[in-house]
């Protein structure tokens, strides 16, 4: 038995139910407008009825709760059937597609083939328009190709089952049966029954698929699917209805909510991971800089050595070897041409003070970056647990407000012991 949940959203038996429902709903109505609102979504406006179709990872059609208004940037489609009357709607036997026929000889075919799904407009047997133009190969499809299967007769099934066994006959004649549907037939003992009894089991399953309830199911990750079989899959049953349009409307709401949530959460997690990486790099850079400052020449020590040896240093000397009483050894001390040894020592004392200030500021920066990194890690861990769009949006709003409140209106610089702030005072425009 298959363990992965089956989504019957594009199964032939669901589309057969949909075709029958649309036939009663659209027959005799004219198509007033048709346009796309995105590369994945298309809208069909009939008299009093709006039908939407979505084509991406999943493909399905549904009647939206709110009609909405056509935006100025909407792209028109299938102009040849605008103001034309629908004469019939029906699914193609054992296929994942259905058609809407119009009075002017055009036929609209909705191919619910998942990622390869498309909508084709035929004039007689040839394609004269398509929705997803990236699939140019679909232009060569003939309308007659969708009639490859017909409803199997009992006699045809008898011949196939007697020759090759019931399971082989099912796979050949009932390609709309999924793995779980086939397993259902096995549990009904089809492999051990006589031919007539096998046909009865098949007829009972088809009646269940075409007239039974449709379950809208959702798992812990908000992934939704439709099941035409009772107790078909584990998950939280959101809805159980015999109305295919009601089931599709409920499925579409869950699908778009989950897609929107996953997109928002994915962007938020990516943003946080980027901030964490940036804070980590800044933290490491600050520690490297502090290490450099700690190991850099100690300006105060050099100044002390110069002042202790003023009488030995000729004016104009650029470097001189002097006794370093801090390390108890001779060291080479760089000097400045154009400055007296005392003037150079005084400048080194100022540099020492500035260097100490820079060390303190760098330590503060390291502490700040460490706290920022830890806070971002906590926010990342919390965001990963969020399962609600409202909570995710509320978190994003709170973080944005906190960032604005903590923003410093000045840029700070240090130069030779002086603190310099560049920016705009609060309240100034």
Cβ partners under 8 Å of residue 148, min gap 6: 95
Q: What is the DSSP string of 119-166?
A: EEEEETTEEEEES-TT-GGGGG--GGGGGS--PPPHHHHHHHHHHH-H
Tell me how far apart the alpha carbons of residues 274 and 282 are, in angstroms, rounded to a whole number. Answer: 12
H/E run at residue 304: helix 299-308
pLDDT of residue 396: 64
- Left, alpha or beta for 362 (phi > 0: left; psi -120 to 50: alpha)? alpha
Q: What is the pairing mode between strands 126-130 and 106-111?
A: unpaired
Question: Pick from 107, 133, 126, 139: which is nearest to 31 by CA?
Answer: 107
pLDDT in tens, 202-239: 999 999 999 999 999 888 777 888 999 986 556 677 78
Tell me how far apart the alpha carbons of residues 118 and 141 are, in angstroms, rounded to a whole number. Answer: 12
Neighbouring C-beta atoms of residue 77, cutoff 10 Å: 19
Question: Pick from 385, 65, 15: which is nearest to 209 by CA?
Answer: 15
Question: Pick from 7, 114, 109: which is nearest to 58 by CA?
Answer: 114
pLDDT of residue 400: 55
Q: What are phi and psi of 134, to 5 degrees?
A: -70, -20
Contact 218, 256 (CB under 8 A): no
Question: Pick from 343, 260, 282: which is nearest to 307 by CA?
Answer: 343
Q: What is the pairing mode between strands 49-55 and 41-46?
A: antiparallel
Tell me how far apart the alpha carbons of residues 301 and 312 are, in angstroms, rounded to a whole number. Answer: 17
pLDDT of residue 140: 95
Locate tokens 């084509």: which residue? 55
Cβ partners under 8 Å of residue 27, min gap 6: 86, 87, 88, 89
Tell me how far apart the alpha carbons of residues 394 and 405 are, in angstroms, rounded to a whole number. Answer: 17
* Confidence band of 413 (pLDDT split at 50, 70, 90): very low
pLDDT of residue 309: 81
pLDDT of residue 254: 87
* Confidence band of 378 (pLDDT split at 50, 70, 90): very high
CA angle 10, 11, 17 (to 5 degrees): 95
Question: Pick from 45, 42, 46: which is nearest to 56 by CA?
Answer: 42
Tell me how far apart the alpha carbons of residues 213 and 244 are, in angstroms, rounded to a whole number. Answer: 9
Tokens of residue 216, six digits: 């809208």
pLDDT of residue 296: 62
Topology (CATH) of 8-147? ibrinogen binding protein from staphylococcus aureus fold (2.30.310)
| Range 318-336 average pLDDT | 78
Residue that wins the pLDDT comparison between 62 and 400: 62
Based on the number of CB atoms within 10 Å of its own CB, is 162 exposed (0-12), middle (13-18) or buried (19 or more)?
Answer: exposed
pTM for the full model? 0.71
Contact 27, 41 (CB under 8 A): no
Tell me how far apart the alpha carbons of residues 223 and 148 are, in angstroms, rounded to a whole number. Answer: 33
- Alpha-carbon distances, residue 331 vs 312, 314, 343, 348 (angstroms): 14, 17, 20, 17
Tokens of residue 171, six digits: 């796979």
Average pLDDT, the chain: 85
Domain ranges of the chain: 8-147, 154-250, 264-384
């Amino acid at each position: 038995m298959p363990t992965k949940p089956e989504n019957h959203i594009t199964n032939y038996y669901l589309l057969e139910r949909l075709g029958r429902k649309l036939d009663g709903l659209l027959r005799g109505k004219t198509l007033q407008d048709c346009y796309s609102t995105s590369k994945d979504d298309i809208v069909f406006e009939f008299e009093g009825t709006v039908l939407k179709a979505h084509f991406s990872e999943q493909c399905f059609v549904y009647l939206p709760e709110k009609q909405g208004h056509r935006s100025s940037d909407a792209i028109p489609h299938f102009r040849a059937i605008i103001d034309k009357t629908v004469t019939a709607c029906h699914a193609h036997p054992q296929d994942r597609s259905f058609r809407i026929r119009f009075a002017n000889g055009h036929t609209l075919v909705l191919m619910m083939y998942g990622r390869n799904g498309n909508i084709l407009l035929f004039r007689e047997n040839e394609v004269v328009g398509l929705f997803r133009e990236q699939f140019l190969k679909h232009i060569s499809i003939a309308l007659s190709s969708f009639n490859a299967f017909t409803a199997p007769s009992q006699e045809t099934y008898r011949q196939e089952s007697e020759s090759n066994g019931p399971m082989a006959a099912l796979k050949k004649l009932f390609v709309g049966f999924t793995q779980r549907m086939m397993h259902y037939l096995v549990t009904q003992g089809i492999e051990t029954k006589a031919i007539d009894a096998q046909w009865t089991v098949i007829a009972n399953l088809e009646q269940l698929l075409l007239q039974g309830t449709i379950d809208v199911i959702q798992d812990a990750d908000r992934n939704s699917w439709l099941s035409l079989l009772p107790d078909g899959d584990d998950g939280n049953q959101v809805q159980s209805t015999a109305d295919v349009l009601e089931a599709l409307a409920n499925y579409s709401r869950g699908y778009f909510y989950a897609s929107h949530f996953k997109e928002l959460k994915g962007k938020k997690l990516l943003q946080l991971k980027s901030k964490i990486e940036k804070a980590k790099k800044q933290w490491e850079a600050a520690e490297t800089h502090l290490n450099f400052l700690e190991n850099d020449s100690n300006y105060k020590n050099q100044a002390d050595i110069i002042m202790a040896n003023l009488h030995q240093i000729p004016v104009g000397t650029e470097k001189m070897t002097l006794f370093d009483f801090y390390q108890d050894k001779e060291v080479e001390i760089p000097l400045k041409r154009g400055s007296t040894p005392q003037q150079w020592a005084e400048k080194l004392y100022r540099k020492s003070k500035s260097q100490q200030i820079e060390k303190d500021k760098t330590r503060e920066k390291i502490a700040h970056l460490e706290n920022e990194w830890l806070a971002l890690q906590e926010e990342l861990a919390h965001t990963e647990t969020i399962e609600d769009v409202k909570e995710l949006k509320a978190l994003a709003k709170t973080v944005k407000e906190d960032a604005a409140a903590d923003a410093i209106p000045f840029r700070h610089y240090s130069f030779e012991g002086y603190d310099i702030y560049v920016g705009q005072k609060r309240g100034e425009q």
